[in-house]
Amino acid sequence: MAKLKTKFACTECGNESPKWMGKCPGCGQWNTMVEEKETVVKTQGIMGSPLIQTKEKPRPIIHIESGQEKRIETTNKELNRVLGGGVVPGSLILVGGDPGIGKSTLLLQTSHALASKRLTVLYISGEESVRQTRLRADRLGALSDTLYVLCETNMEQINDAIESVKPDFLVIDSIQTVYDPQVQSAPGSVSQVRECTAHFMRVAKIKGIATVLVGHVTKEGAIAGPRMLEHMVDCVLYFEGERHHTYRLLRAVKNRFGSTNEIGIFEMVEDGLREVNNPSELFLSERPMGVSGSTVVASMEGTRPVLVEMQALVATTNFPSPRRMATGIDHNRMTLIVAVLEKRMGMFLQTQDAYLNVAGGIRLDEPAVDLAAAVSIASSFKDAPTRPFDVFFGEIGLTGEVRAVSRAEQRVREAHKLGFKRVIMPKKSLKGWTPPAGIEIIGVETVAEALSAAFA
C-alpha cells in the first residue's frame, strides 16, 4: 500500500524540509515554503518511473562517434540564430516569458514550419482547448495534416499520445499544467514540475524527440518552479518585450548546442510574429535630428551588431537628492558614468536629475555603451546636440579613460552600411583591421577627447 508523505518545499529553489519554515534555508527567500503531500510508490524504473528504460551499456569514450549535431532548420531565421543553427533532435528546450507575450504564437508558427517539411509535430496544450488552438492556427495560417493537437494534462495520457503519434517535434504548453498521477501534489507544485520535466527529458533523450516546454514566470521575471528545472534542460530561452511595443526579443540564457549571446528580434503583427532582419534600421526609424541628449550607439548582441538610439535628459532637481533613472541600461552603470563626468570633466550634476533611456524597448548589457551614455548626458547637460550622423561606442573606466571593446570592425561596418559619417571609438580598438572607405574614424583615449570630438 502506498505511504502518504507530507513535506514542505520551496517554490523558488525546490529545497525540501520536513517542517514549515518562514525562511528557506536553501535560497534565503521568505514565505516560499508550501506543504505538499506525495505518495511514495515503489517502482523499478529509473528516477521513479517505469515507463521508459534504456538498454544502453557504458562504452569507452574513444569508441563513441564524434561529429556535429544534426539540426532541423526552421523557416524562422531568428529562431535558428538563437538556437545555434536549428533544432537539435533529442534536445529539451525551455521557453519562458510574461503572460501574453507570444510564446504560444511563436511555438505554433514553429510547429507549422516543421510540419510543412513533412515532419510529425505533436502540440499538447494544457491551457487551451483544441478548438481554441484551431482558431489561433486559422489566424496564423498554421494548418498542416502532420501537425497534431491534443488538450491533455495527465502524464500517462500524454505518454500514450507520444507512443501513438511518434512525433519528431513535441511541444508541451505548459509544464506547470501537466501532472503525474503517481505524485499526489497539485499541478504546478515543485514535485510535479520536477517529475514531469524529468520524464520529458528521458523521452527526448531515448526517443530522439526534440521537445519544447513552455514555463510560466514569476513576478520577478524568473521561470516558476524549482531552479533545478533550468539545470535539467538543454536550452533555456526567454521571450521578452514590452506590452506597449510591438517588438519581441528571444534571448538564450543557456544553450548546450550554441552560443548564449545571441538574440532574435520579432515584430508582433496581426497574423503572428514576423522576424526582423535589420533591427538597426528599425530602431533608428523614429530618431529625431538635431536634438540634444540623443546619440547612436553601436552595440553587439551575440554576433550581430545593432545600432540603437540612446536618449538622456538632465534637468534641475526640486529635491535635496537628485534622481538617477535608467531604462534599458544598468542603473549602477549609469551612476558610475555620472560620477566620472562630475569628477573628471567638472560637470556639476549634483543639482540635476538625470534620466537615461534606450529607445525601442531593447536592453543593452555590455560595457561598450558607456561612451554613448556619457555623450548623451553631456549633450543634454550642455543643451548642445551632437552631429546626427555620429556613432559612439567604448567602455569608460573610473579614471576617465576610454577602454577597448571587442568586435569593433563589425560595429563600424554596420554604421557604414546605414549611412553614418563618423565613428568615435576607443583608439586601441583600431589595431588589426582596416576601416571601410567613406566613413571617418576618430580614436579617443579619454572621455575629454570624446566630448571634444563630439561637440567640435
Question: DSSP per residue over 100-126, as a string?
Answer: TSSHHHHHHHHHHHHHTTT--EEEEES
Question: According to the annotation, is 102 in a ligand binding site?
Answer: yes
Pick the CATH number of 71-277 from 3.40.640.10, 3.50.50.60, 1.10.1240.10, 3.40.50.300: 3.40.50.300
Residue 160: pLDDT above 50?
Answer: yes
| pLDDT value of residue 1 | 43
List pLDDT tens digits, range 189-206.
888 888 999 999 999 999
**Phi-psi domain of 394 (left: phi exceeds 0; alpha: psi -120 through 50; beta: other):** left
List pLDDT tens digits, range 100-141.
889 999 999 999 999 999 999 999 999 999 999 999 999 999
58-67, 232-241, 408-417: least confidently modelled range: 58-67
Each domain of the chain, given as residue ranges in start order, spans 1-44, 71-277, 282-454
In which band, very low, low, confident or very high, does the pLDDT at 41 lie, cut at 50, 70 and 90?
very low
Cα–Cα dist 61/58, whole Å:
9
Cα–Cα dist 396/412, whole Å:
19
List pLDDT tens digits, range 203-262.
999 999 999 999 988 776 677 767 778 889 999 999 987 666 778 889 898 999 888 878
The average pLDDT across 169-181 equals 93
| pLDDT value of residue 205 | 92
Question: According to the annotation, is 293 in a ligand binding site?
Answer: no
Question: According to the annotation, is 103 in a ligand binding site?
Answer: yes
278-282, 355-359, 370-374: least confidently modelled range: 278-282
| pLDDT value of residue 218 | 74
In terms of Cα–Cα distance, which of 160, 170, 172, 93 is closest to 126? 172
The mean pLDDT of the chain is 88
Q: Are 179 and 153 in contact (CB under 8 A)?
A: yes
Q: How many CA atoms lie within 13 A of 53 on its CB side?
A: 10
In this predicted model, which residue has the larger pLDDT, 215 or 70?
Answer: 215
In terms of Cα–Cα distance, which of 351, 341, 406, 404 is closest to 375? 341
In which band, very low, low, confident or very high, does the pLDDT at 88 lie, cut at 50, 70 and 90?
very high
In this predicted model, which residue has the larger pLDDT, 242 or 322?
Answer: 322
Q: Which residue has the cell 567638472?
A: 346
Question: According to the annotation, is 101 in a ligand binding site?
Answer: yes
| pLDDT value of residue 243 | 65
In this predicted model, which residue has the larger pLDDT, 260 or 49?
Answer: 260
Sorted by sequence, the CB contacts under 8 Å of residue 434 that are 6+ apart come out as: none
97-101, 245-249, 416-420: least confidently modelled range: 245-249
Residue 24's CB is within 10 A of a number of other CB atoms, namely: 21
Question: According to the annotation, is 431 in a ligand binding site?
Answer: no
Residue 304: pLDDT above 90?
Answer: no
Domain 282-454, classified CATH 3.20.20.70, yes or no = no
The average pLDDT across 258-274 equals 87
Residue 45 grid coordinates: 524504473
| pLDDT value of residue 44 | 42
Question: According to the annotation, is 367 in a ligand binding site?
Answer: no
List pLDDT tens digits, range 366-405.
999 999 999 999 999 999 999 999 999 999 999 999 999 9
Question: According to the annotation, is 264 in a ligand binding site?
Answer: no
Question: According to the annotation, is 104 in a ligand binding site?
Answer: yes
Is pTM beyond 0.85? Reply is no
Residue 286: pLDDT above 80?
Answer: yes
